[in-house]
Amino acid sequence: MASKLNPYINVLDGRARQAVEFYQSVLGGELELSTFGESGMEGPFADQVMHSRLETPAGYTLMVADTPAEMMKLDVGNNISVSIAGDATQAEELRGYFTGLAEGGTVTEPMTIAPWGDEFGMLTDKFGINWMVNIAGVTG
């Protein structure tokens, strides 16, 4: 599996499900969606979208998630990130991307095993762009 570069849209006000279903109605494709509750979170955010991925017939991948204000400061205009994802066979390459992109920037979530079982990290680069790196199939 080759690693992939994808836009990742963070939605305010708990409307990620509505947004990604709209994108699916326009772009077509298969939608995968998981909630915060499915990862063990309880309370008012349990039904909100922690992660969704829309794979379109044209080969586009679009990711969308809810962003509760308690988890991240988010304003319209900075609510999109770039996601780089691959599997354990690209782990060294993906970690290298993370390290390189972090130079002069700010690591907001170090590369670590995430609740969904993949290795994951987030950063803001020196130009203010938000990045996420996910490595599937890594055992911690």
Q: Indicate which CATH number applies to the domain containing 128.
A: 3.10.180.10
pLDDT digits (tens, 9 = 90+) for 6-53: 888 888 778 899 989 988 997 789 999 999 999 888 888 899 999 999
* pLDDT tens-digit map of 74-128: 666 566 788 888 899 989 989 998 999 898 999 999 999 998 899 999 988 886 7
Neighbour tally for 40: CB within 10 Å: 8
Distance CA 118, CA 139 (A): 8
User: Which range marks the domain in which residue 83 is found?
Assistant: 4-136
CB 132 within 8 Å of CB 83: yes
Work out how many domains the chain is built from and give that number: 1
